[in-house]
A and B are shown apart, each in its own frame.
Chain A
C-alpha cells in the first residue's frame, strides 16, 4: 500500500524532489523507520530514562523498588567536594587538550596545505592516532612514560638532564602527562577538518594580498582566518565536548590516579555507577555535566561570533 501512494506522488514530474517543506510521504517513512526505531529505543529513550533516573534512588542489584527522591541527588552532589574536584580536573583537561590541539593542528594543516615534499608521509602519519584504538594509545604512551624502560626518561638521561621521573604516578606531572597524550590522540580529526577549511579559502584573494605586499601573518589574519573561522569554531566546540567526556585514554593511563589527580568526571561517574552501583546518583552527575557543558559552550560560541564582528 505504501509503495503505491509513494509511486503516485513521485510520479508527478513537476515538484522537484527535495523541495523545501515538502511533506514526507509514506514511502519516505518506510525508508526512515529502520533507523528511527533503534535511535528512539537505544538513544533517545535511554537519554530520557537517564534524566528520570537522576531523580530516583536507583541502585544496582537492589530488590526493593526504586523510589522518587526529587532533587535529593542534586543536593548531595552540590556538597560532594570530590565530584567538584573531579569536575575541575575535567575542565582543566578539556581546555588543556583542546587549545594546544587546535594550535598544533592549525600549524600542521597550514604546512600540509603548502607544496612541500614529504607531505604524503605527513598526511599518512597524521592519520595514525585516529585509526588506533584508544586503549592502544593509552598503552603506547605508558610505554613511552615508563620510568625505566621508557624512551622519554632515556632521552632525558641521554641529554644529561637528570634521571627523569615516574611521570604518571607523580602528583605534579600526572595531569600534564595525560594531557599531552590527549593532544596527540586528537590531532588528526582537528587537522583534517582545518585542512578542509583551508582548501576552501579563496586562493585568488591570497595571491592578490601577496601582490599588495601583505606579509604571511597579515595574509593569514585578513584572508585565511575569516574563511577558516566557522570550521575552527565548530571543531574546537566538538573537541571540547569530546575531551570533557573522554574516558578510555585516562582509564588506561592512570585509572584516575595518583590520588585522584587525573580522575575525569566520566571516570568518577563510571566508578559511582558500576563499582558502587549508585545508578541514580551517577545519572545526576551526567545531567550536571551536560548542563554545565552546554552553558560553557553557549557562552563560548556567542562570545566568539560576536567577537568576529569587530575583528
Chain B
C-alpha cells in the first residue's frame, strides 16, 4: 500500500499518543508503589522515585491480611476456572454440533445474561445462598463465579469445537465409540489448548471480580483481594497512598501474567467469533 510520508508520520504520532494514554496510569501506580512516604507527601511528585524503597510493600502486608486474601482469591479463581471448564466443555460441544432448540436457548441465554444488571440477580442469590448457609464462604462464591464465567466460556468453547472437523468424530462413531467416548478420546485432546485458554480466562475474571465478593463475603478473613484492597481506602477517601499502590500492584501481577499467556488465544477467539457474525 502506498502511504505518503506525512501520513505515516501522523500515524506514528497518533500511535505514540495512544501508547502514552494507555501506559501512563500503570507506570504511575508502579512508581507510587516504590516511593517512600516523605516523597508522597511533597507537592511536586516525580515520575521516578528518587529513593526507591520496599517499605510500602512491608507496610501493606502489616496493615491488611493480604496473604490470606490472596489465598482466598486463588481458591475462588482456581475453583471457578476448573469447574466452569469441566461443565462448559460438554455443553459447548452439544451447542456446536447440534443445532437444536436447546442449543438455541443456551445461546440466547448467553446473550441475554449479559444484559441483566447484577443487582437483579444478586439479591435472590444472596437469599438462596443464605438459606444454604453459603454466605460468607468461598465455596458459595465459587458457585456464583462458575455460573458467571459460563457465558463467555461457552462462547469461546463453541468456537474452538467448531474448529475441530466433525469428520473425525463421525469416523469414531462408525467405529462404535459412544458420545462420551468420542468427546473424551477424540475431541478433548484437540480442544486442549482452547480449554486451557478458557480456564485461564475464567481464572482472571474470578480473580478480578469485586461486586459479588463485596456482597457475599462479610468477614475480613474470608474476603478476596479486590475487597481487601478497598480497605486501604479510608472512610473519607484519605488513603495511605504508598501501601495502597503497593498492594494494588501486587494484586495485578497474577492477572497480567496469565493474560500475557493467553492474549493471542483470546484475540484469536474473538476473531473467530467476529468472523462468524
Contact = CB atoms under 8 A, between A and B. Distances in A.
A2 to B, nearest CB: 9
Nearest to A114: B11
B29 interface: yes
A183 to B, nearest CB: 9
B90 A18 contact: no
A80 to B, nearest CB: 15
A24 B120 contact: no
A89 interface: no
Nearest to A38: B147
Given A134-B210, A184-B22, A200-B274, A10 B99 contact: no
A146 interface: yes
Given A131-B259, A139-B229, A196 B274 contact: yes
Interface in A85-127: 104, 107-108, 111, 114-116, 118-119, 121-122, 124-127
Contacts of B25: 137, 140-141, 143-144, 184
A231 interface: yes
B147 A39 contact: yes
A28 B166 contact: no
A175 interface: no
Nearest to A143: B32
A232 to B, nearest CB: 11
A157 B23 CA distance: 21
Contacts of A25: 179
Given A24-B98, A127-B259, A128-B256, A247 B118 contact: yes
Report whether over half of chain B's contact residues are helix, strand or loop; otherwise say mixed: helix
B143 interface: yes
Contact of B28 (A36, A151, A169, A294): A151
Contacts of A238: 114
Given A17-B173, A31-B183, A128-B256, A140 B26 contact: yes
Interface in B22-38: 22-26, 28-29, 32
Nearest to A119: B15
Given A21-B99, A111-B14, A131-B256, A6 B178 contact: yes
Nearest to B259: A131
Contacts of B256: 128, 131-132
A25 B36 CA distance: 66
B26 A128 contact: yes
A165 B237 CA distance: 15
Nearest to A278: B123
A290 B117 contact: yes
A3 B178 contact: yes
B102 interface: yes
Q: How large is the interface on A (under 10, 10 to 19, 20 to 34, 35 or more residues)?
A: 35 or more
A226 interface: no
B263 interface: yes
B72 interface: no
Nearest to B95: A32
Q: Indicate the member of B179, B183, B214, B256 with the most A CB atoms within 10 Å.
A: B179
A125 B259 CA distance: 12
Given A20-B99, A111-B18, A154-B44, A31 B93 contact: yes
Contacts of B87: 34-35, 38
Interface in A147-167: 148-151, 154, 157
A128 B22 contact: yes
B186 to A, nearest CB: 12
B270 A196 contact: yes
A95 B204 CA distance: 27
A207 interface: yes
Contacts of B124: 45-47, 49-50, 53, 283
Given A132-B208, A273-B123, A35 B40 contact: no
Contacts of B229: 133, 135-136, 139
B170 interface: yes
B19 A125 contact: yes
B78 interface: no
B190 interface: no
B1 A210 contact: yes
19 contacts: A6-B180, A10-B179, A13-B170, A16-B170, A31-B183, A32-B91, A36-B106, A39-B109, A42-B143, A43-B109, A148-B43, A184-B22, A192-B266, A196-B267, A196-B270, A230-B277, A251-B210, A266-B119, A286-B116
Given A7-B177, A42-B125, A116-B11, 5 more contacts: A11-B174, A131-B259, A132-B26, A154-B45, A242-B114
Interface of B: 1-3, 7, 11-12, 14-15, 18-19, 21-26, 28-29, 32, 40-45, 47, 86-88, 90-91, 93-94, 96-100, 102, 106, 109, 113-125, 127-128, 143-144, 146-147, 150, 154, 166, 169-170, 173-174, 176-180, 182-183, 204, 207-211, 214-215, 225-226, 229-230, 232-233, 237, 239, 241, 244-245, 248-249, 251-252, 255-256, 258-260, 263, 266-267, 270-271, 273-275, 277
